[in-house]
Amino acid sequence: MPADTSTSAPTDMAAAAAAGIAAPSAVGRRPPLAVIIDTDNSIRQFISLMLHGNGVNALEFVSGSAFRKAQPARSPDLLFLDVNIEIQDAMQTIDALGKAGFKGALQLMTGRGGAVLETAVKAAGQAALNLLPPLKKPFETSVIQQILSDLKLGRVAPPAEVKVPLAEALRNDWVRFWFQPKIELRKKQLAGVEAFARVCHPQHGALTPGAFMHDASEADVLALAERSLVEALKSGLNLSRLGIEMKISINVPVSALVKLPVGDIVRAHRPEIKNWPGLIIDVTEEQIVSEITLAQELNKTLAAHNVRLAIDDFGKGYLALMKLKEMPFAEMKLDPSFVNDCGTDKVHAPVCKAVIDLAHSFGSVAVGIGLEKAADAMALANMGCDLGQGFLLGQPMPEERLISLLRQRVRVRASATKRAAAERRT
C-alpha cells in the first residue's frame, strides 16, 4: 500500500533510499512491484488493472512529488512515469531515481512529444537509468503485456497442453475464483466484477477453464456452480466490510441453476446489510433459447432473493425478440464479435450501436465484453454502452489483489482530495 502522502515524509530520494527504496526487489521470492505516476486517473487505473491481472503489485501516485515523499517498503521493479507539459516534476523524479541508484526499469509515457520527451530521455540517460523505449499515449493492452514479458515480470502462463480433471481439482480444493473488473465507460469507474473459476495447481499454477472443463461431468459442473455461488456471496461480504457495495456476476449453466437451492444458499451466505446490491447470474442466449418459460420462472424465483439474470453473448440471434421482451434481464452482454473493431470499422460500428440500443429498449444495462482496444472502448462509450469488460480494462485477479486495489483507490482519492483542498486554501 502507498504511504499516506498527506503526512510529513522525506522530501528527497536520498532519505527514501535509506528507507529501502534503492534496494532491488527479490523477483521470484515475492510478487514484482510496479509504480505508476500519472495525473490522469484513467491511465493509472488502466495500467494498474493490467499489472494486477498479470500478478504484479502496483502502487499509484498522482504526481512525482507524491512518490518522492512516500516511503515504499522496497524498490519497484518497474516504474511508469508520465512526461507532460509540466516537465519539471518528471525531471525531479528522474534525478531522484538516479541519486538513489534505482535499478528497476523506467518506462516513460507521454501524450506529447518533441522536445519535452527528448529532454526527459536525455536526463534518464545521464542518470544511468534502465530506460525502456518511451510509450506514446494511448497504448493498447498488448504493450503492457509485452513489457512484462520482456522484463520477465509477473505470472507465466502454463503450457496449453496441461489438463487437470475438474473432479480432481474439486476434491483437492484447488478451485479458486478470480475477479475481472466491469468499468462504467463514461465515468471510467469500477461498477462491478465478474467471478471466473481458476484451478490453482501446486505444480502448474493458475489454470483457466480450458484446462479443467474439457471432460467435466454433470455432477462436477453442479458442484462448481454451487461453489461459485457461495464464494461470490462470501466475496460480497468481504467487500461490504470495506464499505464497498458492488454487484458480483457469476456464470452458471441453466441446467445447473434449476437444480441449485439458490434461495437457501443466498440466505445462508449473503451479506447482512440494508442495501445489498445482490448478485447477477450470466446465462447465454443459446442456453435459454428452448427454455424461455423455464427462464422466466427462474427469473421470478431469483428476483425474490435479489439475484438477477443477465444474457451473455447477446446479439447472436438465438432469442426471438418478442420472447425477450417478456423477460427483464439485468444486463445484456454484447457478443465480442460486435465489440471487436467497433471503433475503427465503419460498417461494423452501426451494427454494434443497434445491439446496444436494443438492450436499452428492453430496460437492460448494455455491457461490452472482450474489450482489448482503446478505440473500441471509446466508441462504445460514445454509442451509449453502459459498462465495459475485457483485458483492456483489467484481467481476472485473485480476491486479495482486488481488495488491495480497491483499498489503494480509496487512499489515492483521499490523498488527491486533500491535496486539492490544500491548493484551494493557498
**pLDDT at position 22:** 32
Do both 175 and 110 map to the same domain? Answer: no
Do both 285 and 182 map to the same domain? Answer: yes
In a domain, 117, yes or no: yes
In a domain, 290, yes or no: yes
Q: How far apart are CA 225 and CA 220, in angstroms?
A: 9
Do both 225 and 86 map to the same domain? Answer: no
Do both 310 and 389 map to the same domain? Answer: yes
Q: Which among 127, 156, 185 is the end of a domain?
A: 156
**pLDDT at position 319:** 55
- Average pLDDT, whole number, for the chain? 84
The winner for highest mean pLDDT among 148-152, 186-190, 193-197 is 193-197
DSSP for 273-315, please give it: -TT---EEEEEEHHHHTT-HHHHHHHHHHHHTTTEEEEEEEET
- The answer for residues whose C-beta is within 8 angstroms of residue 124's C-beta and 6 or more apart is 94, 98, 106, 108, 131
Q: What would the mean pLDDT of 119-133 be, rounded to a whole number?
A: 95
Do both 324 and 191 map to the same domain? Answer: yes
Task: Count structural domains, the chain.
Answer: 2
In a domain, 405, yes or no: no
DSSP for 84-141, please give it: -S-HHHHHHHHHHHHHHT--SEEEEEES--HHHHHHHHHHHHHTT-EEPPPEESS--H
Do both 144 and 259 map to the same domain? Answer: no
When mean pLDDT is compared across 82-86, 92-96, 193-197, 376-380, the lowest value belongs to: 82-86
| 350 grid coordinates | 452501426
Q: How far apart are CA 421 and CA 74, in angstroms?
A: 30
Do both 353 and 247 map to the same domain? Answer: yes
Percent of the chain with pLDDT over 90: 47
Instruction: Supply the angle between the helices 399-425 and 218-241 in degrees, to the nearest 10.
Output: 30
- pLDDT-derived band at 2, boundaries 50, 70, 90: very low
**pLDDT at position 98:** 95
Answer with the residue of higher pLDDT: 270 or 212.
Answer: 212
Helix (H/G/I), strand (E/B), else coil: 322: helix
- Residue 262, pLDDT > 80, answer yes
In a domain, 416, yes or no: no
Q: What would the mean pLDDT of 416-422 be, rounded to a whole number?
A: 72
Do both 186 and 305 map to the same domain? Answer: yes
In a domain, 404, yes or no: no
In a domain, 400, yes or no: no
Answer with the residue of higher pLDDT: 27 or 408.
Answer: 408
- pLDDT-derived band at 5, boundaries 50, 70, 90: very low
**What pLDDT, in 10s, does the model give residues 400-414?**
888 888 887 777 677
| 101 grid coordinates | 541508484
Q: Which among 109, 129, 156 is the end of a domain?
A: 156
Answer with the residue of higher pLDDT: 321 or 423.
Answer: 423
Answer with the residue of higher pLDDT: 9 or 294.
Answer: 294
**pLDDT at position 52:** 85
Q: Are 280 and 247 in contact (CB under 8 A)?
A: yes
In a domain, 373, yes or no: yes
Percent of the chain with pLDDT over 70: 87
In a domain, 321, yes or no: yes
Answer with the residue of higher pLDDT: 127 or 205.
Answer: 127
Range of the domain at 253: 166-395
- Helical (H) or strand (E) element with 82: strand 78-82
**What pLDDT, in 10s, does the model give residues 304-323?**
899 999 988 887 665 555 56
Q: What would the mean pLDDT of 328-338 be, rounded to a whole number?
A: 88
**pLDDT at position 244:** 84
Do both 292 and 190 map to the same domain? Answer: yes
Do both 19 and 61 map to the same domain? Answer: yes
Query: What's the CATH code of the domain at 120?
Result: 3.40.50.2300
Do both 41 and 133 map to the same domain? Answer: yes
Q: Which among 156, 185, 220 is the end of a domain?
A: 156
Do both 125 and 200 map to the same domain? Answer: no
Query: What's the CATH code of the domain at 232?
Result: 3.20.20.450
